[in-house]
Amino acid sequence: MIYFDEQKQVFHLQGNRFSYQMKIVDGVLMHMYWGSRLPSCDGDCLFTLAGEAASFDLPFNRRPREVPTQEKGYFGRRALDIVNSQGDDVLSLRYESHIIFSGKKALAGLPSSYTETEEEAQTLEITLADTFLNIQVVLSYTVFRDLDVLARSMRVINNGPDAVTLKDLQTAVCLPYDQYEAIHLKGGWAKERQAMRTPLPMGHFTIQSRRGASGHENNPFLALVKPETTEFSGEVYAMTHVYSGSFSASADVGMDLAPTMMMGFCPDVFSWQLNPGETFQGPEALLMYTKDGLNGLSALSHPFIRRHICRGYWRDRPRPVLINNWEATYFDFNAEKLYNIAKKGAEIGCELFVIDDGWFGKRNTDNCSLGDWVVNENKVEGGLKKLAERIESLGMMCGLWFEPEMVSPDSDLYRAHPDWCLHVPGRERTQARQQLILDLSRKEVQDYIIESVSAVLRSAPISYVKWDMNRNMTEGFSCVLPPRQKMETQHRYMLGLYRVLGEITARFPRVLFESCSGGGGRFDCGILCFMPQTWTSDDTDAAERVKIQYGTSLLYPCSSMGAHVSAVPNHQTGRSTPFLTRCHVAMGGNFGFELDLNKLSDEDLQCAKEAVAMVKELRGTMQQGTYARLSNPMTNGGSAAWQFTDQERIIVCIYHHQAAANQPPQSIRLTGLEEDAVYHDEAHNLTCSGAALMGMGLPLPYMRGDFKTLLYCFRKIS
Ligand code: DGJ
């Protein structure tokens, strides 16, 4: 998988269908190639270095270095920006050594992709050094045997006598000169990850978060595609970050019109003092290349995230059908009310009841008690243990909501430790949702969270945790850091959060953790390393969810997306959609309910029961199968179609946004079937070949009324 051609001085990282090559030229590590698989390093003879011909510009400004730094007239964005004790930022990195080994190492303090056995991957570590400063940079590249994803990271070692300041750290890769379009996931609260596609401008294109979380507004995902790339074909170069904090994803089109793509810290809110003898580990970036369009990208990223990012007991297990009380009751509940919702859930086959916000302290609205993780026995009469046991006696698991990273000013915790929140002494502490953020860079704060959450989880049979985080950083600074290191707070917070999550998930390995951040405000591969699913959005309107889940699915697998059926009129949009439509759309993720089933009509309750039975029958395919988008709601008037495929069946869901009179006949073409195989859908009594389903497509019946769905389930019969 990884080769070094001594004579040509070329590194060849060879996947099943991609190659990535670098070449040492005069001690400088050059990027040579990333694209479809090459048989060997013979492309070396085609590699030319710009700037060899006479030019006004300096050669380093035009040469594709693997780690572009400020050196010899380089004017593009740097992958590594270090200010040394002399106050300058020149950094001359030259090849020193390399090693190739089986498997993959974990990154110190940070989540990263992993393998279960050494045979699954090979890793190359290249050490570069600036001998003037005595700084080493170790670049790590892992090639996985089963899936064409390249994991990269960088660590910086200060062997010099003086402290230096890291100002920026990016994983950079040069793409071939060509025309590109950028695809990214734009959004906001309740409208997360709307897939956007825009021609790549001839300059800098950046999406970023400096919120202290990956955020609702942008997601750490960037794809550069050719203008002709579709869901089904065409080249895609994509990157994502195994990190949950602020980030920057960019494409810098240089003077030779070849973009350098980068993923890393957001330099506005990052700085790190690296003392003599210390090592700084940068976050991992995942690089994916395919010629098979956007569905080809998802066919790489989905199984990779399921197998090499998500981990633990729940990784491959069918995810339980849940019912959550949030939109059913908000804060207005007591133990009996919760039990009655759970009971109805059990009657229709739900497997998990989740007690959402409001069970602790004196919390009856969102203005108090975060930090006081002690059950409120006035609401949960008899305590948590009793309620959880009653729920278990219904044959269900019991789950619980926490927001451990936060503190309410009106809380015993805040009264005891007013300096435990992020703040700037002397300035107003900006409240959002009437809460402040705990300073997770501090060990005593981390320990408090670990112990207080653990105590609750030990006190009652809790099998699931919804880990929420409902605001972003404003005066996001630790009061215990010296002035010169204040800008380290955000990254130190993330390291603290990862320690807390690592400790708690290790203590409770059988608990299913679902992350949440005001919906999907922290949906990234970093958090998925600890919690295999994320609440996708607070917007539970089926019509809106189609777009949110469409965008999310570009990178993230359906088994990582929480998707619930809620009441109508919908609480976020006021729209009413048919019950069956809400069920079908929620089947595009980890299915659940977020309403009071006791308030449903008999007809809707029956529909809910049938949907649960269907999810249980089909979830193997929906959670582990290959997912393909057949039609894009962003360009198709809100209508969409998607397909799940595994050895056993093909499930197709068609969502029709708005009815119109006198429509021409339409059809949806399936993908990835065997041309000569014959497929049968019992419910619609359809039997035809894979070739016909892919060539002619499923004819769409005329649909009266808005927001209608159709679900097909084909089995291969010969
Ligand atoms: C935001 C989450 O996204 C909701 O699902 C709910 O848990 C609330 N927080 C509770 O405060």
pLDDT at 637 over 80: yes
What pLDDT does residue 53 have?
A: 59
CATH 3.20.20.70 domain locations along the chain: 329-405+444-470+502-615
pLDDT at 615 over 90: yes
Give the mean model confidence (pLDDT) for residues 532-552.
98
- The Cα–Cα gap between 179 and 237 comes to 13
- The Cα–Cα gap between 358 and 368 comes to 10
Please give the mean pLDDT across all residues of the chain: 96
Which pLDDT band, with edges at 50, 70 and 90, does 627 fall under? Answer: very high
What pLDDT does residue 49 have?
A: 76
Active site residue 468: yes
CATH code, residues 2-309: 2.70.98.60
CA 402 to ligand 1 center in whole angstroms: 10
- The Cα–Cα gap between 191 and 708 comes to 21
CATH 2.70.98.60 domain locations along the chain: 2-309
pLDDT at 52 over 70: no
Query: 5-26 pLDDT, tens per residue?
Result: 999 999 999 999 999 999 999 9
CATH 2.60.40.1180 domain locations along the chain: 640-716
356 CA: nearest ligand 1 atom: 7
Domain 640-716: which CATH class?
mainly beta
Which residue, 387, 593, 487, is CA-closest to 83?
Answer: 487
349 versus 76: the higher-pLDDT residue is: 349
pLDDT at 208 over 80: yes
Three-state DSSP at 343 gives helix
Question: Do 569 and 603 touch, CB atoms closer than 8 A?
Answer: no
Around Cβ 10, how many Cβ atoms within 10 Å? 22
pLDDT at 58 over 90: no
Percentage of the chain exceeding pLDDT 70 = 99
Residue with the smallest CA separation from ligand 1 atom 9 is 518
pLDDT at 544 over 80: yes
517 CA: nearest ligand 1 atom: 3
Q: CB-side exposure of 334: number of CA atoms within 13 Å? A: 6
In sequence order, what are the beta bridge partners of 702?
none
Burial of 443 (0-12, 13-18, 19+ CB in 10 A): exposed
Tell me the best of 330, 401, 534 to mutate to test the pocket of ligand 1, counting ligand atoms within 8 Å of each CB and taking the most: 401
N-terminal to C-terminal alpha carbon distance within the chain: 37
CA 612 to ligand 1 center in whole angstroms: 23
What pLDDT does residue 50 have?
A: 65
Cα 657 to its chain centre, rounded Å, is 27
CA 568 to ligand 1 center in whole angstroms: 18
Catalytic residue, from 468, 541, 596, 681: name it.
468
Distances (CA, A) of 594 to 192, 495, 570, 572: 19, 33, 11, 13
Residue with the smallest CA separation from ligand 1 atom 1 is 518
What pLDDT does residue 51 have?
A: 60
Pocket of ligand 1 (CB under 6 A): 326, 356-357, 401, 468, 470, 516, 518-519, 535, 538
Choices 1.10.3720.10, 3.40.50.300, 3.20.20.70, 3.30.10.20: CATH for 329-405+444-470+502-615? 3.20.20.70
Residue with the smallest CA separation from ligand 1 atom 2 is 518
Query: 290-347 pLDDT, tens per residue?
Result: 999 999 999 999 999 999 999 999 999 999 999 999 999 999 999 999 999 999 999 9
Active site residue 538: yes
Q: Which range, of 62-66, 83-87, 310-314, 544-548, averages the lowest pLDDT?
A: 62-66
Burial of 112 (0-12, 13-18, 19+ CB in 10 A): buried
What pLDDT does residue 701 have?
A: 85
